[in-house]
Amino acid sequence: MSDLLQQGLALMALGMGTVFGFLILLILCVILMSTIIRRFSQPEIPVPAGSGGNKNAQLEQIAAVAAAAKAAHQR
């Protein structure tokens, strides 16, 4: 093999090794950041299943609370 071809292959291996190392470092950093964010983030509050579609039930609940508040205020 000629000296020029050996130098080219060595340079290619060095370049590909650098890129591979950078990508591994990037993946590890993303995993670490994901773990940190999950540890310190607030848990989501689950939304009740029937809260979105039934407006009459919501209005009835509001009316019941308003009636209870009025009754408690009149005492």
d(CA 10, CA 36): 39
Instruction: Kindly report whether the global pTM for this prediction surpasses the value 0.85.
Output: no
40-45 mean pLDDT: 81
User: Do the domain assignments include residue 12?
Assistant: yes
Q: Based on the structure, what is the number of domains in the chain?
A: 1
Which range marks the domain in which residue 8 is found? 1-41
Residue at 7 is within a domain: yes
What CA–CA distance (Å, rounded) separates 74 from 68?
Answer: 10
Q: How confident is the model at residue 23 (pLDDT cuts 50, 70, 90)?
A: very high
* Domain contains 64: no
- Contact between 16 and 24 under an 8 Å Cβ cutoff? The reply is no
pLDDT of residue 2 exceeding 90: yes
| Range ranked top by mean pLDDT from 1-5, 38-42, 55-59 | 1-5
Q: For residue 11, tell me if it sits in a domain.
A: yes
Residue predicted with more confidence, 70 or 51: 70
pLDDT of residue 6: 96
Answer whether residue 60 is part of any domain: no
